[in-house]
Chains A and B, each alone.
Chain A
Amino acid sequence: EIVLTQSPGTLSLSPGERATLSCRASQSVPSSYLAWYQQKPGQAPRLLIYGASSRATGIPDRFSGSASGTDFSFTISRLEPEDFAVYYCQQYGGSPWTFGQGTKVEIK
């Protein structure tokens, strides 16, 4: 099974700042089959990015993703108040599909 390790565990930032999250895979993820989700308390996760860098429908362009080998990056260019949440990466390149443990983006 592909293990995804997210870092940092918590990111403390202010609105307007740039957030950069990392997700490292334990082995190659075929075709960059990696997605990013946002989860707020009491809510289901929401798909933001798929295919490592494609934004889902209706997702603002301040959210972006990239891939380099087994390292994946997710960036929020300018944090809005509604962006403070937990973010998960998920791979679907090898069964079973697996998730990272999450990065919490909190208000500094």
Chain B
Amino acid sequence: QVQLQESGPGLVKPSQTLSLTCTVSGGSISSGSHYWTWIRQPAGKGLEWIGRIYRNGNTAYNPSLKTRVTISVDTSKNQFSLKLSSVTAADTAVYYCAREGLLGSGWFDPWGQGTLVTVSS
């Protein structure tokens, strides 16, 4: 079955850019009809949808983060990536990648295990 795995630095300095990659295994980003998504969760808090990308590069972002977020896809590597610029302590969170349901159904399954990113100098 499809599995997702996040990777990237666990520590980012304030004002810098957070960069994460999600590697998909057990299925191909380029052959399915799914969107691929990033979600984050600050410690002890709820979940926030960051944005999503389709295999052709079409994206949608949460307006609350839109000016700082870029999501890209590399179908040759079966990966998609998140960049979040000008980070502050408020961006400290566990970041999850996930697959959306078929044809833009916006439920998420499966999820990666998550990766903690701390913003601190």
Contact = CB atoms under 8 A, between A and B. Distances in A.
Q: How big is chain B's contact interface, by range?
A: 20 to 34
B63 A96 contact: yes
A75 to B, nearest CB: 18
Contacts of B61: 96
B47 A50 contact: no
Nearest to A102: B46
B107 A88 contact: no
Contacts of B60: 95-96
A44 B96 CA distance: 8
Interface string A21-47: 000000000000101010000011111
Contacts of A33: 105-106
Interface in B92-121: 96, 98, 101, 105-114
A5 B106 CA distance: 19
B58 interface: no
Interface of A: 1, 33, 35, 37, 43-47, 50, 56, 88, 90, 92, 95-102
